[in-house]
Structure 1
Amino acid sequence: MQVPLDGLPERVTIYEVGPRDGLQNEKAIIPVADKAEFIVRLADAGLRTIETTSFVHPKWVPQLADAEELIGALPGTDAVRRPVLVPNERGLDRALANGVTDIAIFASATESFARRNLNRTVDESLAMFAPVVERARAEGLWVRVYVSMACGDPWEGDVPIEQVVSVARRVMDLGCSQLSLGDTIGVGTPGQVTALITALAEAGIGPDRLAVHFHDTYGQALANTLAALRAGVTVVDASAGGIGGCPYAESSTGNLATEDLVWMLHGLGIETGVDLEKLAATSRWMAGRLGRPSPSRVVQALSP
Structure 2
Amino acid sequence: MALDLPFIWAALIAFAVLAYVVLDGFDLGVGILFPFFREEEERDTMMNSVAPVWDGNETWLVLGGGGLLAVFPLAYATILPALYAPLIAMLLGLIFRGVAFEYRWRTKRAKWVWDWAFAGGSTVAAFAQGIALGALVQGIPVANRAYAGGWWDWLTPFSIATGIALVIGYGLLGSTWLVMRTSGHIAQNARRFAYGAGAATLVAIGIFSLWTPFLKPLYVDRWFTFPTAVFSVIVPLLVVLCFYSLFRGLRIRHDSQPFLSALAIFILAYAGIGISFYPYIVPTSVTIWDAAAPDESLGFLLVGAAILVPIILAYTGYAYWVFRGKMDPEEGYH
Q: TM-score, normalised by structure 2?
A: 0.28
Q: Higher strand share goes to which structure?
A: 1
Q: TM-score, normalised by structure 1?
A: 0.30
* Greater Rg over alpha carbons, structure: 2
